[in-house]
Amino acid sequence: MTPTSELPMTPAADPASQPLVDDRTRRIITRVFRLVEDVIFVGLGVLLAGCALYLLGAAAVTFAQDIAAKTFGGRGVVELIEQLLLILLVVEILYTVQVSFREHTLAPEPFLLIGLIAGVRRVLVITAELAEKRNQSEEPFKFLMIELGVLTVLIVALVASVMMLRMRPSAAGGLSRG
């Protein structure tokens, strides 16, 4: 009789080659995870839609009050545009959640658009603050100008990225909203 260490190992006898979970269990676990993922995406979608509707209603009420009081102008216009861009940002995030729910994949273009909207929104806020900071002191004005420059570079890079994704021949590049 040969000692055990000299016996050839068969694949069935090798414990390292045996999967910890069989295929049926793996399919069940995958289905459960997909269900949990879907529930989370639906919850996110409902909350984001609620936020967008609330923000839209609040912006409409503020706009109507400013028009009725004849105080709409200057800073009010900038604040309204900032609120509308925030709503657009939330809607774009909602779209990203919807695409992720439908496709079960993460597409890069919606995230780039979210970054683009956020960058434009911040540029708008900075330009509104520049008039106030310019008259106070040079230091805050200098920092805002640096931030504006960095945001400009970021926006150009995001636009270039979106354009490259849309020019890509594969269908995974740009997602159309049709």
Cβ(57)–Cβ(84) below 8 Å: no
pLDDT > 90 fraction of the chain, expressed in percent and rounded: 32
Whether residue 51 has pLDDT greater than 90 = yes
The set of residues, in sequence order, having a beta carbon less than 8 Å from that of 117 and lying 6+ positions away, is 85, 88, 89, 92
**Residue 113 and residue 71 in contact, taking contact as beta carbons nearer than 8 Å:** no
pLDDT score at 87: 93
Phi, psi of 19 (to 5 degrees): -70, 145
pTM, whole model, 2 decimals?
0.66
96-143 tens-digit pLDDT: 888 888 887 777 888 888 899 889 888 888 887 777 666 677 777 888
Helix axes 75-103, 108-136, angle to 10 degrees: 160
Q: How far apart are the first and last CA of the chain?
A: 73
Cα angle value 120/102/36 (rounded, 5°): 105
The pLDDT value recorded for residue 176 is: 44
Q: Can you tell me the distance from the alpha carbon of 152 to that of 54, in angstroms, rounded to the nearest whole number?
A: 30
Tell me the domain boundaries of the chain.
Answer: 22-167
Q: What is d(CA 155, CA 122) in angstroms, rounded to the nearest whole number?
A: 11
